[in-house]
Amino acid sequence: MNQLTSSKSGALKGIFTVPGDKSISHRSLIMGALAVGESTVTGLLEGEDVLGTAAALRELGADIYKDDKNVWHIHGVGIGGLKQPNKALDMGNSGTGVRLLMGLVATHPITVTFTGDESLCSRPMKRVTIPLTEFGAHFSGNENGTLPITVKGAKMPLPISYKLPVASAQVKSAIMLAGLNTPGITTVIETIPTRDHSERIFKYFGVPIKIDGENIQVTGQTELTPRKMAVPADPSSASFLIVAALIKEGSDILIRNVGINPARTGLFKTLIEMGGDIKFENERQECGEDVADIHVKYSELTGITVPPERAPSMIDEYPVLCIAATYAAGKTVMRGIEELRVKESDRIAIMVKGLKSCGVDVEEHDDGMTVSHSIVKGTIPIKTSLDHRIAMSFLVLGLCAENQVTIDDGSVIETSFPGFVDLLNSVGANIHS
């Protein structure tokens, strides 16, 4: 446990970058591990979640290392070439890591046990084991479908056509990855669009993939081309700095090289509608992804009703939106986000409880929350429940609070944003242990 306290800060100023995109980092390592030959990755997020995926891929036979210039090298085993690991794969806190790798091994003739920390072992896995069973894989675990789970991959996988019952890029990607070692065409039908990093990186590594309306079709058992990947900075990580600058009077920051894939920018759109001064500069494409520098200045915000259909494009950003909402005039209504209850924590319940304990006027709904403008008085340490985004959100709350805000455990921030506290302090924040 590493208790951290955030106190009233000065204006935030500076030009900087934030760590690499978590979703793209996991996928870069996985695709590199499946290509024949050497792929390289720059800008990889070196957070615990992604390092856990690298360790798991090594167990599955890939050679992965970082050189002294911070370039990651991956020598892939080729599709179909994964080897039987000698031990259970502990995926720590990472839902993306475990769900994507379950997809990957489901169509290889190996048996793999997955486990994780207390948070990950309580998250639903049936959403991936059900479609992966259709490929011919077998899963054994407990009745609830939670980790630990042992996957016996299909020896002769059959292609499937599967309509996603839940808007989830992790489930979509698990099926697409299973399709890579399956003969024929695997189809995922996605009625509500989610982040499309897998589609983009599949194309970049030369996988035959066809996207036709709601249908995503992957042709399996083709050879992947090793590539050079440059991972952009994570828009979800940038969001904490963006909200911090918007709420702290006098702030003016520029965050370089941030991913602005439209399937990820729902929070930016929402904050602009609330009156936020956020500008994309130097927009460009890199390795199949959209990238820009983001310029943010302090703004007087006004609450809005966030359109529920926007949820998949900002699914990880609601905790930090609650912080912006606390300092915005009026009410901010967030509905249609019941998926938040099965993230690293029940993010609706945990945010509501934490905000209430700081004196914030917040109402809990089955499918979301409504936050009203409030004067923040930090009190008892906020319980972060092994959830990095809860931890970072409450530290941002403290920057403008009447009294300081304390969280019970900041160590979990390492899963996605190593160096968060130092970076925030270097641009003007006041966070200490």
Residues lying near ligand S3P in the complex (CB under 6 A) are found at 23, 96, 168-170, 173, 195, 315-316, 339
Residue 430 bridge partners (DSSP) = 7
- At closest approach, how far in Å is the CB of 235 from ligand S3P? 11
DSSP states of 297-356 as a string? E----B--EEPGGGGGGGTT-HHHHHHHHHHSBSEEEE-S-GGGGGSSS-HHHHHHHHHH
Give dist(CA 321, CA 393) in Å, integer: 9
The dihedral formed by the CA atoms of 420, 423, 426 and 432, expressed in degrees to the nearest 10: 10
Residue nearest to ligand S3P (CB): 23
Secondary structure (3-state) at 236: helix
- At closest approach, how far in Å is the CB of 26 from ligand S3P? 6
Residue 139 bridge partners (DSSP) = 151
- At closest approach, how far in Å is the CB of 188 from ligand S3P? 12
Residue 196 annotated in active site = no
Give dist(CA 408, CA 294) in Å, integer: 31
Give dist(CA 119, CA 122) in Å, integer: 5
Residue tagged active-site, from 21, 196, 234, 316: 316
* E runs forming strands in 88-237: 89-90, 111-115, 138-140, 149-152, 161-163, 185-189, 209-212, 215-219, 228-230
Q: Looking at the chain, how many residues does it have? A: 433
Looking at beta carbons only, is 24 or 407 nearer to ligand S3P? 24
Backbone angles phi, psi at 62, to 5 degrees: -80, 150
- At closest approach, how far in Å is the CB of 105 from ligand S3P? 17
- At closest approach, how far in Å is the CB of 389 from ligand S3P? 9
- At closest approach, how far in Å is the CB of 84 from ligand S3P? 26
Q: Are β-strands 331-334 and 305-306 bridged in parallel, bridged antiparallel, or unpaired?
A: parallel
User: How large is the angle between the packed helices 318-327 and 235-247, nearest 10 degrees?
Assistant: 10
Where in the sequence numbering do the catalytic residues fall? 316
